[in-house]
Structure 1
Amino acid sequence: MMEEIIKHKFFWDLYASIYDENRRHEEYLRNTNLNILKTYFRPGQTLIEIGCGTGIEAKEMIKHGCKVVLTDVSFEMLKVAKTKVGSNAQVINLPAEYIDSFKIKFDGAYSSFGVINCMTNVSSFFQKLHSILKPGSLFIASFINRWYWGDFLFFLFGITNYLKKRLNGWGHITLNGKEYDVIARFYSLNDIKRFSKSYFVIKKVYALPFLLPPAYLKPQERLPEKLFKLLQKLENLINYRFPFNYLGERIIVIFERI
């Protein structure tokens, strides 16, 4: 486990200085994710963010009125995050695998955009997270889904080759076209249910996205604005309904701590 954590630390340290610029095409997904976080978490709650990256979500949740403790495996990511949150939040260099290092109980937790995909033992993570959350508190996580319907379509038309990685259940992470010795694992919603069932119950599931193209295809740049907005409206009507919520490119899951 430690060897893989070190590899992830190296990769995310390397990525930190250009992360915000490279992920601008995800803004439409981040807005959806933030709206969900703000819907379920109340001002005044003390939250822990697991894998905060450059602090994009934390900054907004602090504005929402929450107290946020930011954690990440990457010291360089945390340096960027610190410039966003300043003295308004505590910033701690801590891998998700050691989240039980805290001796206090939080009102809630969240982990956005695939931190779970970078873990080797997700069941152990849920057990450790359970130990630092208050009974009945929420954990909101978004992760890359193993079963995304669009990959079959995109593969058929030669647009992307992500289908093979998802069917294999894992793949190496790439940055600016270069593949690194860092692995991301792809989990289905049923996998996540199995990993978490002893510690959390699932309250609601959203696709992120189902109907809109995924962020790596940069739909806001490629699609006419009117078509993009229409798809976005339709997305909001179906992204929490079965079976669409099981088949998004990413999935947001609302967990309640048992």
Structure 2
Amino acid sequence: MTQTRGSQNEASILRLAPFTSGLDRSSDVPLRFVELHGRPHVLYSAANLPAWISWATEALVRWQIGNETFVGNATAVNDRETLEGEILPQVTRQFGSERLSRWFGSDIGCLALSGSPATASYYGQVEALFDHAAPHYDRTVQNDRLNLHLRVVSSEILRNLFPPGSRVLELGCGTGLETIPLAEAGAQIVAVDISAKMLAELDRKARAASVRDRVETRKGSIRELQRILSDFGPGAFDGAFSHFGALNCEPNLDGLPSTLHQLIKAKGKVSLGVLNRTSLVEMMLFTASLRPSRAFARLRSTLAVGRSQFGVQVFPYGPGAIRRLFRPFFAEEEAIGVSVLLPPSHLGGRLLPHPTLLALLESIDASVADRPLFRFLGDYFLMQMVRR
């Protein structure tokens, strides 16, 4: 609606913000609203669009009314009959025609907010985020060379780890950016993800690549892995992997190693790609910009929304923590850092227009990825283990 000043009529104010705030947009925007059919509606000047319109209509948003926070979508009200016959009269009754004209002029637009309380389960937030991202997820990765770099590195590791004919369990498969190449190389994959829409994208891509017979999808979170054990039985898989964030969306990994140990055959391999607690470049960039709280944010046990490229609270892990957790069941074979000297994708926008420099940094990054110290200072680390 319009940005407000002071505390007048606080009951009719909501605070709107991007749900995926890793792009470091401005802080919450206070807006006046009216409620219609159980949904908040905010107005704006269609002749002079406010800056927040661009992000509010592109992705999930978060809004707060009083002490309650919600997560959902903002959609334009394009029905003039609803706008002029229901919404504007209610706004006029609530705020007066003089304010309505002063705030918005004669050409008025409206967004309707729909969502659920953010106090719903953490897994519900994760599912909603990735359901929303699914249709454009591949395009986001493929158009961002820094993000794509992560997938190139991991896909090469997976091809070497799982030969043709291997039966592999993938946790947090997303749209199948690693699933499809591995299936094309001859592996049989059971792909698990919390998002039904991500799985639908994977299914579509598997059919298009003629590997649907090699990919079986299952909806669920990592904490529900016992269901996979019940369905497939002990020793059903030659190996497993979970790359680039799925493990960081799990508040508690304590039960994962023992369940994987039961699912995987003797001497089977596991590869884990984990958001690291110590990202060298991230720490340097935020320190240089005099933002120490951001520089060391990952050292906390949880990383709040807006402190990473994720749109939900996540849980960074260091290599030592993962090693200790898995040690009773798996032995570490190798670990490398990914994006050690490259910035994380959410901080590397200025590099993207310089492909020559980016290629040089990628080459240097690869040369230090497995070096002592450096391998544990990347944006992510990739750790390969073998079942004891």
Q: Which residue of 2 aligns with 1:146?
A: 277
Matched to 2:227, the amino acid is S
2:266 aligned with 1:135, yes or no? yes
Instruction: Tell me, yes or no, if the aligned pair for 1:220 and 1:228 is still in contact at 8 Å.
Output: no
Counterpart CA distance in 1 for 2:349 and 2:158 is 23
Q: 1:183 Cα shift?
A: 1.8
Q: Which amino acid letter does the alignment assign opposite residue 165 of structure 1?
A: A
Structure 1: how far apart are the matches of 2:328 and 2:179?
A: 28
1:118 aligned residue = 249
With normalisation by structure 1, the TM-score equals: 0.90
1:90 maps onto 2:222 in alignment: no
Query: 8 Å contact 2:277–2:316 — kept in the other structure?
Result: yes
Any idea what SS the aligned residue of 2:332 has?
strand
Q: 1:38 to 1:162 in 2, by over 3 A?
A: farther
8 Å contact kept, 2:199–2:219:
yes
Pick one of 146, 149, 155 that aligns with 2:286. 155
Task: Work out which structure has the larger RCO, using CA pairs closer than 8 Å and 6 or more positions apart in sequence.
Answer: 1
Is the contact made by 1:50 and 1:71 (CA closer than 8 Å) also made in structure 2? yes
Name the counterpart of 1:101: 227
- 2:219 counterpart letter in structure 1: N
Could you tell me how far 1:171 is from its partner in structure 2? 2.0
Q: Is the 8 A contact 2:258 2:329 kept in 1?
A: yes
State the alpha-carbon separation in 2 of the partners of residues 220 and 70 from structure 1.
35
Distance in 1 of aligned mates of 2:266 and 2:204: 33
Matched, 1:20 2:151: no
- Distance of aligned partners of 1:15 and 1:174 in 2 relative to their CA distance in 1, 3 Å threshold: farther
Q: 1:164 Cα shift?
A: 4.1
Aligned: 1:253 with 2:383: yes
Paired with 1:44 and 1:163, the residues of 2 have a C-alpha distance of 44
- Give yes or no for contact 2:280–2:341 (8 Å, CA) kept in 1: no
Answering whether residue 191 of structure 2 is matched by residue 191 of structure 1, we say: no
What percentage of residue pairs aligned between the two structures are identical?
A: 24
What corresponds to 1:73 in structure 2? Answer: 194
Gaps of 5+ in 1: none
RMSD: 2.4
Unaligned runs of 5+ in 2: 1-119
Bigger proportion of residues as helix: 1
Tell me which of 140, 164, 169 is aligned to 1:48: 169
Deviations 1:141-179 (A, max 9, x none): 10110012222211122297742431223223459x9x9
Evaluate the alpha carbon distance shift between residue 202 and residue 127 of structure 1 in structure 2; reply closer, same or farther with a 3 A threshold.
Answer: same
In structure 2, what residue type is equivalent to 1:172? A
